């Protein structure tokens, strides 16, 4: 759980695939970034609602 996150959230594949994450109830007006930089790794199968 992340509370009071100033500046937003970033899910990245910098250390391996970013998969299976759920971001639910984002009621604060901060951004959510799903970044994919590594070939054959990626940010996929994530839920943002």
Q: How many separate helices (H) and strands (E) can be counted in the chain?
A: 0, 6
Structural domain count of the chain: 1
- On whether residue 19 sits in a domain, the answer given is yes
Q: How confident is the model at residue 1 (pLDDT cuts 50, 70, 90)?
A: low
Q: How confident is the model at residue 47 (pLDDT cuts 50, 70, 90)?
A: very high
- On whether residue 1 sits in a domain, the answer given is no
- On whether residue 44 sits in a domain, the answer given is yes
Radius of gyration of the chain (CA): 11
Q: Minimal CA–CA distance to 46: which of 7, 6, 10, 1?
A: 10
pLDDT single digits (tens) 33-42 = 888 888 888 8
- On whether residue 3 sits in a domain, the answer given is no
Domain residues for the domain of 43 are: 9-48
Predicted confidence at residue 46, as pLDDT, reads 92
- On whether residue 33 sits in a domain, the answer given is yes
- On whether residue 2 sits in a domain, the answer given is no
Report whether 11 contacts 18 (CB < 8 A). Answer: yes
């Amino acid at each position: 759980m992340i509370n009071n996150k100033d500046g937003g959230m970033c899910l990245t594949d910098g250390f391996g695939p970013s998969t299976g994450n759920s971001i639910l109830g984002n009621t604060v007006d901060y951004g959510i970034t799903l970044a994919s930089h590594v070939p054959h790794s990626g940010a996929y199968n994530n839920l943002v609602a």
